[in-house]
Chains A and B, each alone.
Chain A
Amino acid sequence: MMLMDKQEQDTFNPVRNSPETMEADGQSMAHDKKQANPAGNDAPSAKSPSMASAQRNLPGTKDEKLYQWPQRPLESIESAFALREYLQAMIRHDPHDVEKLIALPAGQDEHSWLYEHLCQICLELNYLIVHLEPECTPEVCPEMRAEEWMYYCATHATPRECCAIDYLTHTLDGACALLNNVKFFPSRISVPESSVKNFQSIARRLYRIFAHAYFHHHDIFDAFEAETSLYERFLKLSRTRKMITEKLIIIPSQDGDENSDSTGQRKILARGKDE
């Protein structure tokens, strides 16, 4: 009997396991699986090739072993999120090498790269807000200010005068919502031309989060910057990709950079209230 069963499987399995059969006939699914299981048991040692090189944090991974795998070259990452994986791996490797981080990988779409960077910046800004939350309370910062200017929160139907922490979270959530909106960004391979302009508005708003942190919670900003170089990355990215006009840059450069502090500040003072 066993022998016969075996023979049965051998002859029928090629038919049953073919994806067409499975999809075409949903009812047969139960039986397909039943048959497929013992077939799988026949060769438990044959592991799928991906398993050997699986790069993931298994449950129970110790802290020091998290993400401890060699960085793969971009071309070898076979997933829809190749750029993001590549970027995250680079950031984990060295968050301070900003030039290398923002440089466009060879053969990649400029806007997709920008998109991934913005997503990553939003992600990391979450942690900045976590650090700000204990200090930046509605009592301490009842208004959203950066340097001289007060901002209205534009995430609401009519811009509202949110307190700083609300402004920060709303802005970040709004940016996150926009970046995750399939209407504007349906694919990770390419960014529609019409959606590129969104990058500028996202960058402009995100900049204010940094600005508020810098001018009102300087210690936190510095500590966070020392750990992640997030602002530096964001600034360089915005400058090289012309996402923010120079006159909007109000945080004085840390290391006496070219066209920065005083002129930039004066210009912003000359501007009217934003929103």
Chain B
Amino acid sequence: MDQFQSFAPLQPQAAMAEYAFPTVLQFLQSEWRRFERDRNEWDIEKSEMKARIAFLEGEKRGVDNSKLDLMKRVKMLEYALRQERSKYVEQQQRKDGLAHPHSQAQFPPGVTPDAKAQNRMSTYSASGQNMTQVSPTSSTPGSDHLGRAKSREFLRVCLQEISYLTASVPPSIASAMPTPSRASRHDLDRKPTAPGGRRKSDYFSMNGHAIHSTGSQPPPPLLSRSISVPVPTLQSLTGNKSDLNNSLPIMEDSLPAGATNALMEDKVEDATLRQFSAPPEVAATPMASKANGHQTLHKRDYPSIESSDAKPMESRTYGAQENVKGRKDRSPEKTDVSSTRNPPVDDGWDLDDEEPVTVVHSPISAEHWRAQLKKAGQQSTKTKADVSQQEDEAQWSKDAQDAFNIPRGRLDKMILDWDKSKPDASNGYKSLRKKKGKDSGMLDELADLTISEADWGETCNESKETALDEPARWRLKVTLRRHLDTVRSVAFHPLQRSILSGSEDGTMRYWNLEATLSENKRASSADISPIHIYRGHTKAITSVAISADRNKCFSASLDSTIRSYKVVPMDREAYSRTDPTLPLTTFVGHTGAVWGIRLFPVTVSTSLLLASISADGSLKIWDTETTGSPLKSSWGYHGQKVKQQRASLSAAQSIESCWPIPTSLDFCPTDLNKMVVSYNNSVVKLFDIETGKDILTFQSNGSYDATTATQINKVICHPTMPIMVTGHEDRYIRYFDLNNGSCTYSSIAHLDSVSSLDFDPSGLVLCSGGHDCSVRMWDIGSSSRPCVQEFTGHRRKSDEGVCAVQYHPTIPGLFATGGADSIVKVYTRY
């Protein structure tokens, strides 16, 4: 801003060819400053991007590792089973008097190599011939480890750079600076960090201290190294800097507790392990390589812990000085603990990198937020419960360790098993520990969070996705494929989980979604049949509507008629008998294709009004409940009054045929006596329902070029506010004030024409569907109307894409689209 103000007076001076040296200098300086600042911004963005890439790559590797690990575990269990069987056979043989001094590790030769090749446990038996087979397996995670190390190192550098750069921008410039995209993008994350800007650097220094002190310690023995491997993981898990010193020792001990538990629960596993009680030195080496798997797995399995702790971390504004001081004071003690057990390198990484990443990178924190929102504030209590549980576990593990005298390396190894056995174990666990309901609740939660092997791959993908998501994103739930041509219109039953779809194939299908929606699967692949197919029209259906109060549904068609039917009950079977009582009325009166129908939003006791628009240029209002003539009123472009005047003219008919044709209509929920109708000359008019007078003409034809290529395709009114929105063929969405008809906002919303619009029942989000096949959700609460979600809805046919979008009017989190690909898609938001 400043430089441009100074720049403006500079121009006339330049014209007079009087370059004052200081002015020029000042200008150059300001320019230079600006460029520098821009450069900084770019650097920040670049490093952020790089860090993100590195992070995601690391994450992927971690996931791959853990997947590999789990696969091995499966093999191990299979192996154990075989073992048991052989034991059984052996016993049988003994009974038969054939006392064979079989060692348990000996197997039928056909089985052994196969099992051993894929089972790391078997390699610990340290038979030399197998070691060659082992090395490739175990070396892979090892190299991954290196890769992770590199990327983490890189991350750390990037983050330091960022913090340096953000800190180096003087506040005066920073305030004047236009919000850089990345910064604003991470608003959520930066806000908490901003007061703690120093906090971060403090943290770095603290970590530096940690590294230093660990470095000065003599390298821990091999065994303890392997034991302590998961510890940094949990440190990063808790992510709670303020509680770090407290929670750390607890966390360390808690891990073997889990392992011991696994040992208790998983007897088969135990048996296997016992048989292969390898010397710890041998076990330790592969163990280290396994650290990766542990880390990532734990990260995945403990989102609740992560998020619960992340919240205080992010939201708390540190009183800084004394807090930091306190932390620093206590930090040596912490490092003592960690240094005795931690491998120095691991420690450095995790403390340095994992947590700052959590702070800076939105994906992770988005995940946190999501989890947090889900748990809706129960977090703080749970955190406490969490800690207490860990304390218990710590105690328990020690006891167990003493009792069973199990090498800790093996305990570590079995942590994965713990995760696996947790769902089954949680019951016994509860009774064992006799904890309060709070605890068990949390346990259940943890159990829920445990990822089963079968879902592993899928869940990983999902969590990656969710990491990128807004807190609540619409996800495809059900795909309804039965229509044979473009689905032009969809309508939810106002109260039930069922949907009506009208298609160009001339049929209207009614689908029961109750069963499918209650499934827990993410996207149901079930092949759903409609519970009824309404036939009756002889041409394509353009619009459908459904009324819960009257239990009626309506369809409008290109064959100039509107038909009404009884809504079939939800429990109707797919192929049941024809019910002759279903068709109710056929509304005949239009002389051209009916392009839209709309039910009066409120049911009055005696009547149910239905408005329809047709290519004959008229708008008709029908009383669907009356026993007499259903047609209530009808008017054209100029409203009722003008039409009556024209009626006397002989040429009325021909004049009327030249009138603009209505394209879409909607009632105004805010003023029930009025309705809006859009015309193909891009004009929207507000009519009085009772009198048929046009009250208002909206300034909606801003981009009208006298062809239908700029017409309005859809008009819709806001459920609670006097706002009307139009979707245009020339890609615009425009917002209007219903009171004065002025356009309040206008933007190009799609890559191709906008075909459909709908308001979220809460009135906060507008959804639009376009012939560019995309569905977009717009946050209308914000003045800039940003797009909050976009997804490809349907495939293109006949230059059409998405033809209908519809929110469920009463059940939140339900949304449907109909498209040119003959498919109806139902989305949910959980």
Contacts and interface: CB of A to CB of B under 8 A. Distances in A.
Contacts of B797: 79-81, 84-85
Contact of A156 (B178, B575, B593, B708): B575
Given A12-B181, A180-B482, A27 B468 contact: yes
Interface in B770-787: 771-772, 776, 778-779, 784-787
B211 to A, nearest CB: 31
B713 interface: yes
Contact of A165 (B507, B578, B663, B711): B578
B787 A29 contact: yes
B784 A34 contact: yes
A166 B787 contact: no
| Listed residue (B1, B481, B779) with the most chain A CB atoms within 10 angstroms of its CB | B481
Contacts of A48: 731, 751-752, 772
Contacts of A36: 787
Nearest to B574: A173
Interface stretch (B86-94, B328-336, B528-536): B528-536
B1 A1 contact: yes
A60 interface: yes
Secondary structure of the A contact surface, majority rule: helix
A270 interface: no
B415 interface: no
B612 interface: no
B96 interface: no
Contacts of B185: 25, 27-28, 31
A27 B470 contact: yes
B758 to A, nearest CB: 15
Contacts of B533: 169, 173
A16 B615 CA distance: 42
Interface in A56-71: 56, 58-63, 66
Interface stretch (A37-45, A104-112, A234-242): A37-45
Interface string B464-485: 0100111001000000011111
A50 interface: yes
B578 A54 contact: no
B377 interface: no
Given A41-B747, A174-B575, A66 B181 contact: no
A8 interface: yes
A56 B664 contact: no
B777 to A, nearest CB: 10
Contacts of A177: 482, 527, 529
Interface in A130-168: 130-131, 133, 137-138, 153, 155-156, 162-163, 165-166
Contacts of A155: 575
B789 interface: yes
A54 B485 contact: no
B102 interface: no
B558 interface: yes
A16 B753 CA distance: 23
Nearest to B661: A60
Interface stretch (A95-103, A120-128, A190-198): A120-128
Nearest to A30: B786
Contacts of A66: 558, 593
Interface in B725-739: 729-732
Nearest to A5: B178
A84 B536 CA distance: 24
B795 A79 contact: yes
Nearest to B503: A123
Contacts of A35: 181
A22 B185 CA distance: 12
A256 interface: no
Contacts of B779: 30
A80 B535 contact: no
Contacts, number: 220
B538 interface: yes
A129 interface: yes
B708 A37 contact: no
B506 interface: yes
B535 A58 contact: no
A176 B558 CA distance: 22
B230 interface: no
Nearest to A173: B533
Nearest to A155: B575
A260 B622 CA distance: 52
Interface residues of B, number: 90
B593 A166 contact: no
Contact of B748 (A26, A37, A55, A130): A37
A28 B748 CA distance: 19
Interface residues of A, number: 78
Contact of B4 (A1, A27, A54, A130): A1
B366 interface: yes
Given A16-B181, A31-B184, A129 B535 contact: yes
B703 interface: yes
B144 interface: no
Given A129-B535, A130-B537, A133-B535, A62 B1 contact: no
Given A30-B786, A60-B663, A181-B527, A80 B482 contact: no
A36 B185 CA distance: 14
Nearest to A67: B798
B100 interface: no
Given A51-B753, A58-B708, A31 B798 contact: no
Given A59-B595, A169-B578, A130 B821 contact: no
A52 to B, nearest CB: 8
A81 B795 contact: yes
B91 to A, nearest CB: 48
B505 A123 contact: yes
B481 A33 contact: no
Nearest to A36: B787
A56 B800 contact: yes
B575 A62 contact: no
Contacts of A182: 481, 527
B709 interface: yes
Nearest to B7: A3
Contact of A123 (B485, B786, B788): B485
B784 A37 contact: yes
B274 to A, nearest CB: 48
A138 B482 CA distance: 26
Given A37-B784, A40-B747, A47-B730, A180 B481 contact: yes
Contacts of A120: 484
Contacts of A62: 592-593, 615, 661
| Listed residue (B713, B751, B797) with the most chain A CB atoms within 10 angstroms of its CB | B797
A55 B798 contact: yes
Contact of A80 (B481, B615, B821): B821
B537 A26 contact: no
A56 B592 contact: no
B580 interface: yes
B708 A31 contact: no
Nearest to B56: A24
Nearest to A78: B796
A162 B577 CA distance: 8
A246 interface: no
B730 A26 contact: no
A63 B184 contact: no
Given A29-B790, A56-B798, A173-B575, 17 more contacts: A31-B786, A50-B752, A51-B753, A56-B799, A59-B595, A60-B615, A60-B679, A61-B593, A61-B708, A80-B821, A81-B821, A88-B798, A123-B505, A127-B506, A130-B537, A138-B578, A180-B822
What 3 pairs between A and B have smallest CB-CB spacing? Answer: A33-B787, A26-B468, A40-B748
11 contacts: A25-B185, A25-B468, A26-B465, A26-B473, A40-B748, A48-B751, A51-B709, A60-B708, A63-B593, A137-B580, A173-B533
Interface of A: 1, 3-5, 8, 11-12, 15-16, 22, 24-37, 40-41, 44, 47-48, 50-51, 53-56, 58-63, 66, 79-81, 84-85, 88, 119-120, 122-123, 126-127, 129-131, 133, 137-138, 153, 155-156, 162-163, 165-166, 169-170, 173-174, 176-177, 179-183
